[in-house]
Amino acid sequence: MPDFLTAALYKFVDLPDFAALRAPLQAYCESKDVRGTLLLAEEGINGTIAGPAEGVHAVLAHLRSDPRLAALTHKESWSQKLPFYRMKVRLKREIVTLGVPGINPNQMAGQYVKPQDWNTLIADPEVVLVDTRNAYEVGIGTFAGAVDPHTSSFSELPAWVQAQSAPGGLLAEKDGKKPRVAMFCTGGIRCEKSTAFMRTQGFEEVYHLEGGILKYLETVPESESRWQGECFVFDERVSVVHGLATGHYDLCRACRDPISAADKTSPLYVAGVSCPGCHDKKTEEQKRGFIERQRQVDYANRRRQPHIGAKLPSSASAGAEEND
């Protein structure tokens, strides 16, 4: 059996004292040899942690000891290698950044649809199926028939919805009625917020996949699946497939996008420095920084020592911590 347990979790809940929770939570995770990223905000908690099973379960129990988090749910998967290098507990304005004030998923989110019922819903030709994830995530896998908004960050989704709501758009009214919309994301958190936003825009029939793609891949047999490709995840596994087994993608250490075996055969791919997608987008100064970092990684590998990476240039690390 694989050695390390990964738990993805989130909960929208009022945490006015979220800043005071940070240091004790960081210390507790470290005491249990658990690594990963947890985001705290006034609106709740979001993150993924990994480590020995007993350590991960202890952290989950610790979180649920707070009555406000007693109903916290999580999704589990296993891996042979620890998928995180550090433990980070961070304070945020939002646990997933939409950038629209007044959105409260606890009061406004759309209707949950269980994974076993999802296929029936999205088979309806009257339902507009929207992938709320970023373009680099959609690029390696999505549901058959899903619309890709081609966003580079979640905060771009509201503008896309408003543009597509205009006459002639995918979300435009027909006969005075807005269409039924189904939305999905990796673990469920972006869907809760996006469907809440949709309701503020007058969409009455909005649905989202309960537990996200990860729960669908865990629950629905591959023979019955409408999922195509792999699912990007925000840790060192990079992607997962049905049954939440680790997928076949690697990560470009310069732009943080997933790369395939074919990408690595491109003359524009340089390990740790560039991939076909970012080779022409990085400055020479950035590339020199990446080359130095890769030199340190190679040195650590030769000595069979762990290397947790030099600090990335700000443009390269932007968005790397978005967690779903």
Q: What residues are labeled active site?
A: 185
CB contact at 8 A, 90 and 67: no
Cβ–Cβ under 8 Å, residues 10 and 28: no
Tokens of 71: 């109903």
Q: How far is CA 304 from CA 13, 205, 264, 298, in A?
A: 43, 55, 24, 10
Contact 312, 318 (CB under 8 A): no
Amino acid at 234: F
| CA–CA separation, 217 and 93 (whole Å) | 31
Give every CB contact of residue 177 below 8 A, 6+ residues apart in sequence: none
Residue 45, burial from CB neighbour count under 10 angstroms (0-12, 13-18, 19+):
buried
Looking at the chain, which runs of residues are DSSP E strands? Answer: 4-12, 35-41, 44-51, 73-79, 87-91, 111-113, 127-131, 141-143, 180-184, 206-209, 227-229, 231-232, 239-240, 250-251, 258-259
Angle, vertex CA 312, rays to CA 309 and CA 316, nearest 5: 130
